[in-house]
A and B are shown apart, each in its own frame.
Chain A
């Protein structure tokens, strides 16, 4: 029998009051942003913007005040997230830390690590990167080979991380290394570390994506030193922690809003009185969008209630990425306009950006196949 369950979420009045505040802030901040810029949303890296979000108390907002948080509810945080994403704000200088690195440190970090990093994250001053994937380890994350060997006062690291988004402009990276080598027990012997990407022995090589943009990197460790104090959690606890971290990553509303900018351009294009076919296309997209928002809100409600909606989050992510990935295809089928890079109409540029980003929607943070495997496990099939 299905083991997942979605209840309707409900936002308290405090969250709605906050929404108005967030919207007002975003309107002022983003009024010059073009639709193509909005489409980039979490591709956009803007430290100035992140600091302003931090100053408002909208980063790490559920964390304890002693770590710079505001002890707001998960539902209030949800409202900030969905408004920020719906507006297409450039969130990537604080997004990763707010969503996964910070919560990870809060849960598994030492007191000293929490004191040192969390308040700065909450101020929007620290950008984080994630060092999980390696050239030979993608979906099979537990097979990673980058090694951290104990030396006096810490660890010596050798190996290569890849696809490390924004490593070249981040302040820290939370990386998963192998601290023990036993081929039979690959899930054991993994440990997480806080790494300063500017330390000696670390080389960051850019990888250019298909659009010609630079966010990916290959990070090479050659006898790089990581102090003991920068280990996150116990030695060998890395797998459990990384699984928790990936669950944080999947639980947010970001997994269905990536193509909102294109839906909005489509609505502008078809005009106030669309033909029957165009109306049906818009209506279907809106039906999906509205439903995904309720699903996403439902997950937020479960988080607020202290439940553990890992399976539900995987379901929402799978349904959500399938949806956001098909939007460029549907717009193409309806309108047939040519997608462009940075010339042409807003519609063409947004379509151009999303056509070229859509393949990544079902890869990042766990591929579609891996995610569906998680759902199948939840159904009791494996």
Chain B
């Protein structure tokens, strides 16, 4: 781990351990915006790891951002921090300035499009996007659309949308935003950005959040297994429990590797394959991991009172957001089949 990452890791761990309390998590689920936490996160320079220092960011890499995003997952942080990181990176990729405050990206659903149109002497945004993460809380929305055959990144004020509130399983905001001729505050083409940049990078950060979440539930379940006693001994001494936790450990390890590798690929500016791999592999790990963690915890883990559910409900939602395992596996399978069996190993070995 390089120095910046070590520092980031210390900062996020300390901040999230102190500030993401049970009260805060519950209040967020009730719809309260954790403004003080956001401010602390922003002041600590965690929201813009990929933005150059000259533009007010940390000037880091995706590898650095991984530390923040996976920690956000590990601590089930109820903020649009991964979304802000992606949105700010998209703005930078197009050479645009990054506003302060929480950002989000849209659209996130496969078949939706938000259209950039030239009207009344300016660029405007039309269309409806459902399940936009933290749509109600974001100050701005970053959109990628094609204009003149090029991927164009555009910034609009979230206030320019009609918002219909909804949430995911963990009661994180997932709102419908309807734009009708909303004025675009800034826009520019981004060379080399794929047209599906929003979904791709959305999948990328969800994979890292899930990898963090898996670490968290492994730690929770392992600790519980050493504390909970039945039949006169800690349940962690029963072999069935040990074997289950070993399986969970394997999935957590695989998830961390797949997600970190996808962030490394993003630093190479070629993240499609590794992101598809990560979203498919980590999503599977999330399902199996959550199931084992709950089994080990017994009934107490099935209560709202216990903190396990703050993570597992997120895992169940995150695995579906920005494309679930089957969608990414299908895309991956098609690309592999098209290249043919002969190229599979050379391709893998070159990554």
Q: What residues of chain A have their CB less than 8 Å away from a CB belonging to chain B?
A: 1-2, 4, 6-8, 19, 23, 82-83, 86, 260, 263-265, 267-268, 270-274, 276, 278-284, 286-295, 298, 312, 315-316, 318-319, 322, 369, 371-373, 375-376, 378-382
Interchain CA distance A290-B331 in the complex, whole Å: 15
Q: A272-B338, A291-B277 are in contact. List 20 more A-B contacts (CB 8 A).
A: A2-B215, A2-B222, A19-B349, A264-B344, A267-B344, A270-B333, A273-B337, A276-B330, A279-B334, A283-B330, A283-B332, A286-B344, A287-B258, A287-B278, A291-B278, A293-B348, A315-B249, A372-B242, A376-B242, A380-B222
Per CB-CB distance, the 10 closest pairs between chain A and chain B, nearest first, are A283-B333, A283-B329, A279-B333, A283-B332, A376-B242, A372-B246, A282-B333, A375-B246, A287-B280, A267-B341
Interchain CA distance A376-B349 in the complex, whole Å: 31
Question: B253 touching A295 by the CB < 8 A rule?
Answer: yes
Q: Which residues of A contact B325 (CB under 8 A)?
A: 284
Interchain CA distance A372-B219 in the complex, whole Å: 17
Q: Which residues of A contact B12 (CB under 8 A)?
A: none
Closest to A293 in B: B348
Interchain CA distance A1-B328 in the complex, whole Å: 32
Given contacts A82-B349, A274-B334, A318 and B257 within 8 Å (CB-CB):
no
Q: Is B326 an interface residue (CB 8 A)?
A: yes
Interchain CA distance A214-B263 in the complex, whole Å: 47
Within 8 A of A (CB), among B25-80: none
Query: Smallest distance from the beta carbon of A201 to chain B beta carbons, Å?
Result: 40
Q: Is B336 an interface residue (CB 8 A)?
A: yes
Interchain CA distance A4-B274 in the complex, whole Å: 23
Question: B341 touching A268 by the CB < 8 A rule?
Answer: yes
Residue of A274, A369, A378 touching B333 (CB-CB under 8 A) = A274
Interchain CA distance A24-B1 in the complex, whole Å: 35
Chain A proximity mask over B338-351: 1 for CB below 8 Å, otherwise 0: 10110011101101
Query: Smallest distance from the beta carbon of A7 to chain B beta carbons, Å?
Result: 7
Question: A372 touching B247 by the CB < 8 A rule?
Answer: yes
Given contacts A2-B219, A283-B332, A319-B253, A381 and B348 within 8 Å (CB-CB):
no
Question: A86 touching B349 by the CB < 8 A rule?
Answer: yes
Residue of B218, B257, B280 touching A284 (CB-CB under 8 A) = B280
Closest to A369 in B: B243
Q: Which residues of A contact B215 (CB under 8 A)?
A: 2
CB<8 Å pairs between A and B, sample of 12: A6-B257, A7-B1, A267-B344, A273-B337, A274-B337, A290-B261, A290-B281, A294-B258, A295-B253, A315-B250, A375-B245, A375-B246
Within 8 A of A (CB), among B215-250: 215, 218-219, 222-223, 225-226, 236-237, 239, 241-243, 245-247, 249-250
Q: Which residues of A contact B252 (CB under 8 A)?
A: 2
Q: Which residues of B contact A4 (CB under 8 A)?
A: 249, 253
Q: Which residues of B contact A290 (CB under 8 A)?
A: 258, 261, 273-274, 277, 281, 348, 351
Q: Is B202 an interface residue (CB 8 A)?
A: no
Question: A287 touching B329 by the CB < 8 A rule?
Answer: yes
Interface footprint category on B:
35 or more
Given contacts A264-B344, A268-B341, A376 and B329 within 8 Å (CB-CB):
no
Q: Which residues of B contact A291 (CB under 8 A)?
A: 254, 257-258, 261, 277-278, 281
Interchain CA distance A273-B236 in the complex, whole Å: 48
Query: Smallest distance from the beta carbon of A286 to chain B beta carbons, Å?
Result: 5
Q: Is B138 an interface residue (CB 8 A)?
A: no
Given contacts A2-B215, A263-B344, A280-B326, A287 and B332 within 8 Å (CB-CB):
yes
Interchain CA distance A7-B66 in the complex, whole Å: 12
Question: A273 touching B338 by the CB < 8 A rule?
Answer: yes
Q: Which residues of B contact A287 (CB under 8 A)?
A: 258, 276-278, 280-281, 284, 328-329, 332
Q: Is B256 an interface residue (CB 8 A)?
A: yes
Interchain CA distance A379-B251 in the complex, whole Å: 14
Q: Is B155 an interface residue (CB 8 A)?
A: no
Question: B253 touching A315 by the CB < 8 A rule?
Answer: yes
Q: Which residues of B contact A8 (CB under 8 A)?
A: 257, 260-261, 264
User: Which residue among B223, B242, B253, B340 has the maximum number of chain A CB atoms within 10 Å of its CB?
Assistant: B253
Q: Which residues of B contact A6 (CB under 8 A)?
A: 253, 256-257
Query: Smallest distance from the beta carbon of B195 to chain A beta carbons, Å?
Result: 21
Given contacts A7-B1, A290-B277, A376 and B245 within 8 Å (CB-CB):
yes
Question: A270 touching B337 by the CB < 8 A rule?
Answer: yes
Query: Smallest distance from the beta carbon of B295 to chain A beta carbons, Å?
Result: 15
Q: Which residues of B contact A298 (CB under 8 A)?
A: 257
Interchain CA distance A316-B253 in the complex, whole Å: 9
Given contacts A292-B254, A319-B253, A283 and B328 within 8 Å (CB-CB):
yes
Interchain CA distance A86-B342 in the complex, whole Å: 11
User: Which residue among A86, A282, A318, A382 has the maximum number of chain B CB atoms within 10 Å of its CB?
Assistant: A282
Interchain CA distance A315-B226 in the complex, whole Å: 20
Interchain CA distance A286-B283 in the complex, whole Å: 14
Question: A260 touching B246 by the CB < 8 A rule?
Answer: no
Query: Smallest distance from the beta carbon of A289 to chain B beta carbons, Å?
Result: 7
Interchain CA distance A374-B168 in the complex, whole Å: 38
Given contacts A264-B344, A287-B277, A376-B242, A295 and B254 within 8 Å (CB-CB):
yes
Question: B254 touching A379 by the CB < 8 A rule?
Answer: no
Q: Which residues of B contact A23 (CB under 8 A)?
A: 346
Interchain CA distance A24-B101 in the complex, whole Å: 55
Query: Smallest distance from the beta carbon of A331 to chain B beta carbons, Å?
Result: 13
Question: B333 touching A281 by the CB < 8 A rule?
Answer: yes
Interchain CA distance A369-B243 in the complex, whole Å: 7
Question: A86 touching B254 by the CB < 8 A rule?
Answer: no
Query: Smallest distance from the beta carbon of B351 to chain A beta carbons, Å?
Result: 7
Interchain CA distance A268-B338 in the complex, whole Å: 10
Query: Smallest distance from the beta carbon of B260 to chain A beta carbons, Å?
Result: 6
Query: Smallest distance from the beta carbon of B287 to chain A beta carbons, Å?
Result: 13
Q: Which residues of B contact A316 (CB under 8 A)?
A: 253
Q: Which residues of A contact B329 (CB under 8 A)?
A: 279-284, 287
